[in-house]
Structure 1
Amino acid sequence: MNTILQATLKTLQKTEYLLLNLDDGTLSDVSVSPYYSSIGGHIRHILDFYDCILNMDENNRIDLTARQRNINVETCCNHASDYLKGIIERLKTMETRPDLEVTVTDDLGMGATDMPYTYGALLAQANSHTIHHYAIINYILDRLGLTMKDHSFGYNPTTPQASGLN
């Protein structure tokens, strides 16, 4: 298994830990300003991103705008956990090379556009994207009076941290 895939799986394990320590009410709570988004909404968004990556077509095209947006993942820890486990299993069994050239469709704010990537670069982007959403989830947890026992949750590995945070 390549390093990018190993890092991706390690990062996604944090979602599993998070889901084991939340209830459905906390997962779907949208009371935190200023955006009123839920932890479940962020988890669904993260997993939808990976689902798109794993749904590459026979022409090596990946459409990041083709997201499932299943509301049950946002509101039910069991649904979110099942979705996560499915993504992890698909990642573990994938045989795509990191240097494989792919075409990625995304909407950067001006309509859908196609961009050349490598599969490895897209997985690296997904990993950073996940960590970014973990940081947002950490803000929501803080406002709800909850904390993660994993002090690296939401921190990019290159972010300087105070001593003792790992």
Structure 2
Amino acid sequence: MTTIISKLSFQLHSIAALLQGIDSIDYTLPIQEMGNATIGQHVRHTIEIAQSLVNGYISNEINYENRKRDPEIETSLNYAGKLCFELVSLIARTDKQLVLVEQNDAGEITHINSNYARELHFVLEHTIHHMALIKTGLQILKKDVTDPDFGVAYSTIQHRIKSCAQ
């Protein structure tokens, strides 16, 4: 489990570093090719999913849909970066049983048995997915993302390394 924690910490640090290299106009600009979503909205979503896991650890019940949706994360680069660093300090926990709460469109609630390690892995993969969208958005804006592995799945990185070695 320490590997998953390290990987998620690395990704959160990568997001925080990226935020230091872009300006607030690009962070808040609706991108037509992305359904008018902003980089800030993707960062907010990513942070809030991780916050849901941290909060769910305490209560033993995770509900990713019932998030705060803090608009300040979407507009403040400094605040979003601060939250990334805060999450890094909060995710290193021991595994334990948790309950995932899902609600369908009719309002019916389902409880799914899970555990922290499984949900941590979900948050890691979800974070990488949104990092890929952030990278795409920045490329649409003609902004350079210097880290070629930003938003790339670990399995893809490993596959590339193996392919180059052959």
The alignment's TM-score, normalised by the length of structure 1, stands at 0.86
Evaluate the alpha carbon distance shift between residue 125 and residue 108 of structure 1 in structure 2; reply closer, same or farther with a 3 A threshold. farther
Q: Which residue of 1 aligns with 2:94?
A: 96
Comparing 127-136 with 105-114, which one deviates more in the overlay? 105-114
Indicate whether 1:40 and 2:37 are aligned.
no
| CA apart distance, 1:146 | 0.8
Correspondences of 1:34-73 after superposition (within 5 Å): 34-56=34-56, 60-73=60-73
Q: Aligned letter for 1:40?
A: G
Change beyond 3 A, Cα 1:151–1:7: same
Give the aligned partner of residue 147 of structure 1. Answer: 144
1:31 deviates by: 3.0
Structure 2: distance between partners of 1:6 and 1:38 = 27
Shift, 1:4, TM fit: 1.5
Deviations 1:127-161 (A, max 9, x none): 00000001111111111001211000111011244
Q: CA RMSD in A?
A: 2.2
Gaps of 5+ in 1: none
SS in 2 for 1:55: helix
Residue 118 of structure 2 corresponds to which residue in structure 1?
121
Structure 1 residues 31, 59: closer, same or farther in 2, change over 3 A?
closer
Change (3 A) 1:59 1:36: closer
CA 1:117–1:78: 2 relative to 1, 3 Å: same
Higher helix share: 2
Q: Using a 3 Å threshold, how does the CA distance of structure 1 residues 108 and 24 change in structure 2: closer, same or farther?
A: farther
**Structure 1 residue 57, shift from structure 2 partner:** 6.0
Compared CA separation, residues 58 and 17, structure 1 to 2 (3 A): closer
Tell me which amino acid in the other structure corresponds to 2:150: F
Q: Distance in 1 between matches of 2:26 and 2:82?
A: 18
TM-fit CA distance, 1:8: 1.0
Which residue of structure 1 aligns with residue 74 of structure 2?
A: 74
- 1:34, CA displacement in angstroms? 4.2
